[in-house]
Structure 1
């Protein structure tokens, strides 16, 4: 049983150099229900004369929801000016996403965060969420396994708790859990309402944890990630929203973008399936 919805992160299609409309089209043709777009692609679309209302309508017509956006802004930078600029950028991008009907934006620990305490980061995140409330777009707190700060699920839980906010949503990613050393069973501490979106990916045993890079990610089920256990814990937590296929493979050989998208959908559903006899959370 597959108790989730599937989205396609546009990063998976980067080798094909598609514009956002083409990305949305491929996701729809392959059978996905949603898509995660990258702000840089949205901004290029606008610079080339595109219209956000047209893009929203195009997605609606194809039955594809724009479920989240990937961006990089310095919301928790140690330097006050950079932090302020990051919040300005975030607000601008959130206003654009609101016009697309996109409900969320990723908030990873981008910038100079090495000496920022988790308590200070929590205060910064509360500011970011306040901006989100004013725009109607919610930041998803994302941890990066190789970040100098906010590198584990435990860190993210601490930031969420210390923020004083009742409903922080965390972006989960098996690759970042692996590289940062987050224990998979820590997912048991989450409730579905506190999970924003889950990236679907896998990683091989070689290169090892210390040297593996984003480009080494593989399709779900092709590596050593405990995908079935992750799926079981998500299901028990009551999370039945989107898994989003996020790969950074540089070359897919002679496969087309549609081939890759269809393969990723099939492999994700197989790897993250849950046994019928699961225990409800």
Structure 2
């Protein structure tokens, strides 16, 4: 049984240098229900004369939803001026996404955050969410395993709690759980309503955890990630939202973008399927 929906993060297709519309087309043709677009690609599309209405209509025609956007703004930076600039950028981008019909944006610990306390980060995140909800776009709190602060799932829990907001949504990612040392069983403390989206990927044993990089991520099921355990925890929360395939592989050889998108959909569904108590695939 596969109780989730599948999305494709556009990073997976970066080696093919596709336009935003081509990214949507490939994802739809491969069978995904949603896509995560990168703000830089949306901005390139607009700079080349495109408009948000046409892009939204194109996605609607293809039957695929734009479910989240990836951006980097300094919402939690230690410097107040830089942090304010980050909030201005975030507000501008969220207004754009609202016009596009995209309901969410990732909020990772981008910038100089090494000496920012989790309490201060929580206050900044509350401000960011207030801006987003006024516009109609939800910031998803994302932790990065290699960040100087907000690097673990427990850090994200702390920021969410200290924000004072009862319904903070987090972005989960097995790679960042691995590199930051987050315990998989901590997922048992999450409610489905607190999960915005889940990035899916896998990682090999070599390079080791200390030296592995984004480019070393592999397709779900091809590495050592406890994927089946993660899938069970997500299912136990009642989560039925999007899993989004996020890879940064630099070269896929002679394969096409559609080949890779199709392969990613197949491997993700296989790796994150839920088995019954007898170890057989539930039907």
Q: Which bin holds the TM-score, normalised by the shorter protein?
A: over 0.9
Helix, strand or coil at the partner of 1:224: coil
What is the TM-score with the length of structure 1 in the denominator? Answer: 0.98
Q: Which residue of 2 aligns with 1:272?
A: 272
Match of 1:256 in 2: 256
Provide the C-alpha distance between the structure 1 equivalents of 2:262 and 2:72, rounded to a whole number of angstroms.
Answer: 28
**CA offsets per residue over residues 49-77 of structure 1, 9 Å max, x none?**
00101000000110100000000000000
Which whole-Å CA distance do the structure 2 matches of 1:259 and 1:267 have between them? Answer: 12
C-alpha distance in 1, partners of 2:167/2:276?
A: 30
Residue 17 of structure 1 corresponds to 17
> What secondary structure, in the 3-state scheme, does the structure 2 residue paired with 1:267 have?
helix
Partner SS, residue 87 of structure 2: helix
What residue is the counterpart of 1:77 in the other structure? 77
Q: Give 3-state SS (helix, strand or coil) of 1:49's partner.
A: coil
Deviation at residue 275 of structure 1 after TM alignment: 1.3
Q: Secondary structure at the match of 1:148?
A: coil
2: CA distance, partners of 1:171 / 1:216: 20
Structure 1: runs of 5+ lacking an equivalent:
none
Which TM-score applies when normalising by structure 2? 0.98
* 1:87-119 C-alpha deviation (Å, 9 max, x unpaired): 000000000000111000000000000000000
Secondary structure, aligned partner of 1:239: coil
- In structure 1, the residue matched to 2:106 is 106
What's the secondary structure of 1:3's corresponding residue? coil
Summarize deviations over 1:113-144 as a string: whole Å, max 9, x none: 00000000000000000000111000000000
Residue of structure 2 in register with 1:144 after alignment: 144
Q: Which residue of 2 aligns with 1:153?
A: 153
**1:120 and 2:120 equivalent?**
yes
CA distance in 2, matches of 1:276, 1:56: 39
Give the CA deviation at 1:276: 3.5
**Paired residues, number:** 278
Q: What's the counterpart of residue 236 of structure 1?
A: 236
Give the match for residue 281 of structure 2: none
**In structure 1, the residue corresponding to 2:7 is in which secondary structure?**
strand
CA deviation after TM superposition for structure 1 residue 277, in Å: 4.5
Aligned match of 2:41: 41
- The aligned residue for residue 207 of structure 1 is 207
CA distance, structure 1, for counterparts of residue 96 and residue 53 of structure 2:
10
Q: Which residue of 2 aligns with 1:59?
A: 59
Query: Which runs of 5 or more structure 2 residues have no equivalent in the other structure?
Result: 279-283
Cα RMSD (Å) of the superposition? 0.7
